[in-house]
Copies of this chain bind each other. A is one copy, B any other.
Amino acid sequence: MTEDAHARLRQELADLHGALVEAALVVWTAGNVSARAGGGHFLIKPSGVPYGDLTPESMVLCDLDGNPVEGQQLKPSSDVFAHAYVYRHRPDIGGVVHTHSTYATAWAARNEPIPCVLTAMADEFGGEIPVGPFALIGGEDIGKGIVETLESHRSPAVLMRNHGVFTIGDTPRSAVKAAVMCEDVARTVHLSRQLGEPFPMEQPDIDRLYDRYQNAYGQ
């Protein structure tokens, strides 16, 4: 990756943190976005820095073990090892997002997957949004939980039990999109369930919607 491309990626990553704030998925310093940077590295939010203070330069370049490379100004997010695990085990993944977005985390706290009862959910997630195991921060457990849970699902989002949401994408932007859509459908299905049972969708319809959205939607 050229120095220019690196600078652009730092800028994009700073902007994507702004998108989390705008979508009201994060409060104070919680949550983070990372971006694969090439050459066995990725960039990630610094630990405990308020969103309003983030700059392209404050993003922390780490190796795939989650260790910051020499010369970084700040310590990386304490979720760095979860992100690193995902990049090591999923070479197809270019971006990872973590939030405690309210409605999705409410499902996670009940250890309950979000059932696929909306066409928008079939489009983006291709089925339910699953729940991963409870895991403590700081080692490989969260990363392992993410990767193993998503292996058996089309969903780019996983609800980590009693914790929050992790999403993945081929780019950091698509991971942010998954985080936005995850909260949106978590909220809608939550509200729908408050007053009764949502009408189930048929699997072949879910499959058709997913296929079209992944292959024909957009420009």
Binding site for B on A (CB under 8 A): 23, 27-30, 46-49, 74-75, 78, 100, 102-103, 105-107, 109-112, 117-120, 134, 136-138, 161-164, 177, 180-181, 184, 187-199, 201, 205, 208-209, 212, 216-219
Q: How many copies does the complex hold?
A: 4
- B78 and A110 contacting across the interface, CB-CB below 8 Å: no
Say whether, besides A23-B27, A191-B102, A205-B136, A216 and B78 are in contact (CB < 8 Å). yes
The SS class assigned to the A binding surface is: loop
A191 and B106: CB pair below 8 A?
Answer: yes
A195 vs chain B, min Cβ distance (A): 6
Give the chain B neighbours of A177 by CB distance below 8 A.
Answer: 28
In the assembled complex, 27 residue pairs joining A and B whose CB atoms fall closer than 8 Å, in A order, are A23-B27, A27-B181, A28-B180, A28-B184, A29-B218, A30-B120, A47-B218, A75-B218, A78-B216, A100-B118, A102-B191, A106-B188, A109-B117, A109-B118, A110-B195, A110-B199, A117-B162, A118-B162, A119-B163, A134-B199, A134-B205, A136-B209, A138-B212, A161-B199, A190-B194, A190-B195, A194-B195
Q: Which of B48, B109, B136, B187 contacts A192 (CB 8 A)?
A: B109
Bound together, the chains give a CA A114 to CA B218 distance in angstroms of 32
CB contacts (< 8 Å) of A164 on chain B: these are 119-120
**A25 → B minimal CB distance (Å):** 11
Question: Smallest Cβ distance from A85 to chain B, in angstroms?
Answer: 17
Q: Which of B134, B181, B209, B217 contacts A47 (CB 8 A)?
A: B217
Supply 16 further A-B pairs (C-beta < 8 A) apart from A47-B217, A75-B219, A105-B192: A28-B184, A30-B120, A78-B216, A102-B187, A106-B191, A106-B195, A107-B192, A112-B195, A117-B162, A118-B163, A119-B162, A119-B163, A134-B199, A136-B205, A161-B199, A162-B198
